[in-house]
């Protein structure tokens, strides 16, 4: 009988710890101020700020955390200039570039074409075919000026399966 009460006591302590952790984690994310957000076809990218950290969330899951308060801008590919890309380090801005492209080949790389030129959809594998439209979000690192300093990439395939008539 003593063993049963001890096991119940241990179980109760574990349950209390789990509940406290769940409340703490939920409080940190739920009360965060939304800085910027954008949605495409049911997928949402959002930037929040709380407790001295700026977080990037994709469909409610935290993917990247930056220390400090940053302004966040979601910018279309055609509006994202070279100057913005190479002078972002000391501006305390996180740019999220929204690129709309189309898959043009069913090869290994899943070659695509966007406003500025080539883009690969290899990471999507068989989820896209030639002719499909894809929206890609690039989260640019705010701590360097590298022209290829992308921290995160999120793709949203939109099925169109456009075909040329033969």
Question: What's the pLDDT tens digit per position in 110-128?
Answer: 999 999 899 999 999 888 9
Give the pLDDT confidence of 134-163 residue by residue, as tens digits: 999 999 999 988 888 999 999 999 977 655
Answer for the pair 145, 86: CB distance below 8 angstroms, yes or no.
yes
Structure confidence at residue 165 (pLDDT) = 46
Number of structural domains found in the chain: 2
Are residues 22 and 44 both part of a single domain?
no
pTM of the model: 0.78
Joined tokens for residue 65: 């955390």
| Cα(134)–Cα(59) distance, integer angstroms | 17
Q: Is residue 17 pLDDT above 50, yes or no?
A: yes
Q: Coil, strand or helix: which one is 158? A: strand
Structure confidence at residue 166 (pLDDT) = 44
Q: If you search the block for the tokens 């789990």, which residue do you land on? A: 18
Structure confidence at residue 22 (pLDDT) = 67
Are residues 51 and 25 both part of a single domain?
no
Domain with 16, as residue range(s), is 1-31
Tell me 32's DSSP state.
Answer: P
Are residues 119 and 129 both part of a single domain?
yes
Segments of 109-149 assigned E as strands: 111-114, 118-120, 133-140
Structure confidence at residue 109 (pLDDT) = 87
Give the pLDDT confidence of 51-104 residue by residue, as tens digits: 999 999 999 999 999 999 999 999 999 999 988 888 888 888 999 999 999 999
Are residues 64 and 49 both part of a single domain?
yes
Are residues 48 and 87 both part of a single domain?
yes
Are residues 26 and 49 both part of a single domain?
no
| Residue 16 is assigned to a structural domain of this protein | yes
| Residue 166 is assigned to a structural domain of this protein | no
| Residue 164 is assigned to a structural domain of this protein | no
Q: Is residue 34 pLDDT above 60, yes or no?
A: yes
Are residues 89 and 110 both part of a single domain?
yes
Strands 71-76 and 93-103: parallel
Are residues 23 and 52 both part of a single domain?
no
């Amino acid at each position: 009988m003593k063993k049963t009460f001890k096991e119940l006591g241990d179980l109760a302590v574990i349950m209390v710890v789990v509940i406290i952790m769940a409340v703490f984690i939920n409080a940190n994310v739920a009360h965060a101020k939304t800085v910027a957000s954008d949605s495409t076809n049911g997928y949402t990218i959002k930037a929040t700020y709380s407790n001295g950290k700026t977080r990037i969330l994709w469909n409610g899951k935290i993917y990247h955390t930056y220390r400090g308060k940053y302004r966040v801008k979601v910018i279309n590919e055609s509006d994202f200039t070279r100057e913005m890309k190479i002078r972002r380090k000391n501006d305390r801005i996180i740019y999220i570039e929204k690129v709309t492209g189309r898959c043009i080949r069913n090869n290994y790389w899943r070659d695509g074409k966007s406003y500025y030129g080539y883009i690969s959809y290899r990471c999507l594998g068989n989820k896209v075919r030639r002719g499909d439209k894809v929206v890609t979000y690039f989260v640019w690192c705010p701590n360097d000026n590298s022209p290829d300093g992308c921290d995160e990439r999120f793709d949203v395939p939109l099925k169109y399966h456009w075909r040329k008539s033969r």
